[in-house]
Structure 1
């Protein structure tokens, strides 16, 4: 595969990841009333683990090396933390507000990648990040702004956890394929959270069909598939560059929430989405040589 084609597929994988992760925010809102934060985190990861376990023979998943276990463990901790913190935050915040907070994750990815992976953040990429972040601020203002309270801090913690996972997954993709990194991470996170929520399986048994559908989307789509497409993309691109695609999530989340939940975006939300798109395109493209 030529370099241009490989990069094109990486961008397609990023768009797929952003779309699946965006759909998670309204899906969480649907499932939370019946599951609660901790039960939902476990249910989502259990579904994802089963899906990946069934696909493992086809995907050719290998055993990880002993030297990589600390990084895998760090990724699993970050994933488990992200799932729980995001769910808790969405108990008290709308899916749009939550998606906006999590959209700051690339900032923490870039910071960690610069220190841990020695990745260089160019001026163009930094400018694109700033423009995209401005777009998220426009959407936040349209939704009434945000107060700095416990909910905001919890969602900020979710964003930091997401950014940390993206940074630590980069070295793993140099030695393992995207599906393998996804399996290691999700299986590890599942084992960590199950003991903390023993009632999760009872909640899964008693849940309504709408909540069950939301959990299936979260587990299979937003976790199993999205983590594999993310692993593929980050293997082809810098971690900080790949994480710029997260700025697309709030705009996509608004569209998904409109179709699924009937939440209507206003003109300012659409303007913010356009600004986000402009920033992402600036960060993910290179200037033409003259």
Structure 2
């Protein structure tokens, strides 16, 4: 599909500043709490966390649909989208985040993920005619990647004490989320709430199968002792913000919706300091500030005109 065809296939209505700001704030705060709940899940296997998160998210959205009298089963044309999003926006990044948080701090993980809007902006520039990078936004991309180098570059040296695998896992998470966000933009017609439901269904089921194969049924024995954080992770930090985020992507476009990454490390660092007794070093603060400066240049340099249907 060409750039012009993709843009024409997904008309985007005008978006008010109030809707965008309130959605960004709410979505980023709820998603940031997910890092906290994962940490509070103790020694639960990353695959089990991803499985429980997906299943609880799917169950919550299924109840939401049932109360509204909406159909739960996918239509044939939806299945491909559900499977794609369930993988790239679901079980794969969920497993990687859970693993990364066993290796690095929550604040560092969120700061790496904050580079997501930069990746989205670069790829969207190549795919969509109405998402072109201006010189200022291109400068922002360069600044942001310098910040990533500051944040995760020292992990290449063994004496740094920084886990290279944890850092690389978060880079993979960022790439996975960026891929999913851009894919949503290419869907011709979609109900954001159905995309959110399908994503969670196609995240929870594969994650559960993988957990049973890789970790074994016994790995689920720890779930009752961590039920509180896991419930909060699946409902508060997954189902609710996913509904909000899908709506943002469909109405505001992937570049502006990915501004969630601009706010995520702020809330994550605050929650980590308040509840996990984590401390931010000079390198984390500097790298995070540079990344966020780059993201700010990318996302606040001019307003995108809504696409019109050809």
- Bin the TM-score by the shorter chain: 0.7 to 0.9
**What is the aligned residue count?**
277
What are structure 2's unaligned runs of at least 5 residues? 1-12, 158-163, 304-310
Matched, 1:213 2:193: no
Among 14, 18, 33, which residue is 1:23 paired with? 33
Please give the residue correspondences for 1:173-188 in structure 2 after superposition, counting only pairs within 5 Å.
175-188=189-202
Classify 1:3/1:70 alpha carbon distance in 2 versus 1 (closer, same or farther; 3 Å). Answer: closer
Q: 2:140–2:294: 8 Å Cα contact kept in structure 1?
A: yes
Contact 2:122 2:133 in 1 (8 A): no
CA contact (8 A) 1:244 1:283 kept: no
Structure 2 partner of 1:93: 104
- CA spacing shift, 1:65–1:128, aligned 2, 3 Å: farther
| Corresponding position of 1:234 | 249
Give the TM-score normalised by the residue count of structure 1.
0.81
Q: 1:6-49 deviations in whole A, cap 9, x for unaligned?
A: x420232122222222222222122142x121111111112111
Shift of 1:134: 5.4
Of the three residues 113, 116, 122, the one matched with 2:124 is: 113
Instruction: Decide whether the 8 Å contact of 1:241 with 1:283 is kept in 2.
Output: no
The alpha carbon displacement at 1:185 in A equals 0.6
Greater alpha carbon shift after TM alignment, 123-132 vs 39-48: 123-132
Does residue 88 of structure 2 align to residue 69 of structure 1?
no
Structure 1: distance between partners of 2:231 and 2:268: 18
Three-state SS of the structure 2 residue aligned to 1:54 is helix
Residues 71 and 113 (structure 1), Cα distance of their counterparts in 2 relative to 1, 3 Å cut: farther
Structure-2 residue corresponding to 1:47:
56
Matched residues in 1 for 2:205 and 2:211: separation? Answer: 11
Q: What do you get for the CA RMSD once the two structures are aligned?
A: 3.0
Task: Give unpaired runs (5+ residues) of structure 1.
Answer: none
Equivalent residues in 2 for 1:52-201, closer than 5 Å: 52-59=61-68, 61-62=70-71, 64-78=74-88, 79-118=90-129, 119-131=131-143, 140=151, 145-147=154-156, 149-172=164-187, 175-198=189-212, 199=217, 201=220
TM-score by length of 2: 0.76
Bigger proportion of residues as helix = 1
